Amino acid sequence: MTGTDVLDLWDASAREHPDAPALVTAHRVLSYRDADRLTDAWAASLAARGARPGELVGLAFGDPARTVLGMLAALKAGAGFTVLDERLPPAARAELVHRTAAAVWLGDGGHAPEGAYVPAAPDGGEGADGTEGPGAARPAARAAASDAAYVLFTSGSTGRPKGTVVERDALRRFAGAVAGRLGLTPRDRWLQVASLGFDVLIEEVFPAFAVGAAVVCREDSRALDAEELHIALSRTRTTVVELSTQYWLEYARWLEHTGTTTPAALRTVVVGGERMDPRPYRAWQARQPAGLAHVYGLTECTVSSTFYTGLLPDDAEEVPLGTPLRDVEISIRRDGRRVPDGETGEIHIGGPLLARGFLDDEAATARRFVPDPEASRPGARLYVTGDLGRIDADGQLVFRGRADDQIKIRGHRLEPARVERALCAVAGVDQAVVFPDPEAGTALWAFTVPADPAAAPRPGGAERLTGADRDALVAPLEAELPDWAVPRVLYRVSALPKNPHGKVDKRRLATWATAGTGAGAPPVPCAPRPGPGDPLGGVLDLFREVLDVPGLGPDDDFFDHGGQSLLAMRLLARLRESHPAAAGLRASALFASPTPRLLAKALTDRENART
């Protein structure tokens, strides 16, 4: 792989594999020749509207394929790109539009800013706006290696998302390194499943384009549940897919329940984002034909920095994070100095894949991107990850926890203090603490202390909030935070217990929360179970099982009791095992029918419509 710009990798693929598929959608396959011609025309349109080196192009499509084309077109215009996540609340979206100050916006989704448009196709097809003719040539502007390739946002401890600026040379090196590590060839097909505002999108696209492989896109940006994912993998003959840790666990659980193995074409499942339990990893390796690649990385270091693709030994207590990609330097340090292999310290990442820094935030850049005191080359920098780790006897990086309070939720980094501050801003809340549920770690729990002591429950107990009490806390958060950062299970306590070190005792809070449902605890009053033959009974049982709420009633709301997208996937998968009418039902159906009674009725209506 030669060349000095990320576009040189694309141009080589388009030249050497012009008839090979570059972009595969449900309705169309674009060859490299076709995609090259289309994105040249888009790039000409962007350049005519002010896109050039040093500027950004904003992308606000609901269609993943158009997003991928927009990314490529922006780079061809010499500009960088940013992607606006449609799941963000309107106020947060407006702020990101303002902060990026993009020269031009492409988009057609309801979340697209005013003035966003879809460029014309070279043949004057859909999206034509009269500004460019057939076969428009690519702009002549040549970007420098140090120009921005993209800006993507990640959460920060201040509560204001940080815009990470990744340069074109870093993207070029990253694409080639990942393609080499995974052994990608023009015969590969990588299924795009990440949220469009998530940095994993970069890893799903550019390594494939670097070698002439195909990127397979969904019809829209909605999450696929485990069965839908499996069908998509099979139908598209996907060879590589990347899943968050919790998403992969849902897929592995579905395969186990159904006695199914991964599709024949699928050769590699890339998994990362959260700590991996060795047990399901070993179980997968023993049963599934597709191999695993466990990855570790951060947005500030151009997505993934290390890969582990080995067979996990039987006695391994952790799944290693692997060894560095080409051009990535990993070191374990204390106070800026390396520690011997085997000792635990803070993970530092160096090398040319580091981002330039944070958009318009020199102070945050200086805190996290620091000079390397041991480097021989001038200007060498390190990114201070905040993660603890060690290098084991085999040279593998092993994760050992966090050096601070930052957590991972469904693949996203989050400072709990950001959510706690938002809760304390709600009238009637004096204190708050937030942490992942201890069992699965897929959702946030929140414990609040009321400002009025008369509203507090008895000391040593936690009162679960439902109905209007819960809505009063959740609604302001939903207006400010992304969905994955909003606590879905909320409790009220009289005081936050402290451990001997003076910190909030989260273990004791979790014990209080489960005291009503755990072993040896007083039984929770259960709503009467419907009689034999009533479909509501089976649906209610599955709601209780998936949410782990034995006392759930027929009219209790799934989302009021901790439900979120991954649990919705699990519930639908379990429903399909016993309810034929659930076939084809998407997890989004729970938004329309969020209670057992409503969902049971929806299933009955579907069954009646089929007969």
Q: What is the mean pLDDT of residues 76-95?
A: 91
19, 20, 39, 79, 520 from 33: Cα distances, Å: 6, 8, 10, 22, 67
Q: According to the model, what pLDDT value does residue 47 have?
A: 96
Contacts 24+ apart (CB under 8 A), 574-579: 574/257, 574/542, 574/545, 574/546, 575/539, 575/542, 575/603, 576/227, 577/257, 577/258, 578/538, 578/542, 579/535, 579/538, 579/539, 579/603
Q: Write out pLDDT tens, residues 325-374.
A: 999 999 999 988 899 999 999 999 999 999 999 999 999 999 999 999 88
The span from the CA of 373 to the CA of 384, in Å, is 13
Is the torsion defined by CA of 25, 27, 32, 36 positive or negative?
negative
- Main-chain dihedrals φ then ψ at residue 159, nearest 5 degrees: 90, -10
| Helix-then-strand count for the chain, H and E | 17, 27
224, 230, 483, 540 from 570: Cα distances, Å: 11, 14, 18, 14
Strand partners, 137: none
Strand order in the sheet with 429-436: 429-436, 444-450, 489-493, 462-464
Determine the residue type at 226. A
* Alpha-carbon torsion angle 494, 498, 502, 506, nearest 10: -110
Closest CA to 133 of 147, 123, 145: 123
Q: What is the CB-side half-sphere exposure of residue 493 using CA atoms within 13 A?
A: 26
Instruction: Please give the DSSP secondary-structure letter assigned to residue 311.
Output: P
Query: Collapsing DSSP states into helix, strand and coil, what is residue 416?
Result: helix
* Alpha-carbon torsion angle 214, 174, 7, 60, nearest 10: 70
Which pLDDT band holds residue 517 (cuts at 50, 70, 90)? very low
Q: Does residue 602 carry a pLDDT above 90?
A: no
The span from the CA of 221 to the CA of 229, in Å, is 13
The span from the CA of 571 to the CA of 567, in Å, is 6
Q: Write out pLDDT tens, residues 208-228.
A: 999 999 999 998 888 888 889
The span from the CA of 420 to the CA of 423, in Å, is 5
Q: According to the model, what pLDDT value does residue 218 have?
A: 93
The span from the CA of 421 to the CA of 358, in Å, is 23
Q: According to the model, what pLDDT value does residue 55 have?
A: 97
The span from the CA of 314 to the CA of 561, in Å, is 37
Q: According to the model, what pLDDT value does residue 553 have?
A: 84
Token couple for 588: 């989004």
Report the chain's mean pLDDT, rounded to a whole number.
Answer: 87
Token couple for 143: 């970007």
Q: Does residue 162 carry a pLDDT above 60?
A: yes
Q: What is the mean pLDDT of residues 256-283?
A: 92
Which pLDDT band holds residue 184 (cuts at 50, 70, 90)? very high
Q: According to the model, what pLDDT value does residue 91 have?
A: 85
Strands 80-83 and 56-60: parallel
Q: Write out pLDDT tens, residues 33-58.
A: 999 999 999 999 999 999 999 999 99
Helices 535-547 and 596-610: angle between axes, nearest 10 degrees: 130
Is the torsion defined by CA of 534, 537, 540, 541 positive or negative?
negative
Token couple for 386: 């905040």
Which pLDDT band holds residue 2 (cuts at 50, 70, 90)? low
The span from the CA of 438 to the CA of 330, in Å, is 30
Lowest mean pLDDT of 225-239, 484-498, 575-589, name the range. Answer: 575-589
- The model's pTM is 0.79
- CB of 273 closer than 8 Å to CB of 411: yes
Distance from CA of residue 137 to its chain's centroid? 35
Kindly give, in sequence order, each residue whose CB lies less than 8 Å from that of residue 408, ignoring residues fewer than 6 positions away.
Answer: 273, 274, 275, 414
Token couple for 114: 């005013």
Which pLDDT band holds residue 592 (cuts at 50, 70, 90)? confident
Is the torsion defined by CA of 129, 131, 134, 135 positive or negative?
negative
Q: Find the helix or strand (DSSP H, E) in which 545 lies.
A: helix 535-547
Q: According to the model, what pLDDT value does residue 537 have?
A: 80
Q: Write out pLDDT tens, residues 520-552.
A: 333 344 455 555 456 688 888 888 888 877 778
Which pLDDT band holds residue 132 (cuts at 50, 70, 90)? very low
Q: Does residue 128 carry a pLDDT above 50?
A: no
Q: What is the CB-side half-sphere exposure of residue 86 using CA atoms within 13 A?
A: 20
Q: Write out pLDDT tens, residues 276-324.
A: 889 999 999 999 999 999 999 999 999 999 999 999 988 888 899 999 9
Closest CA to 332 of 378, 298, 286, 382: 382
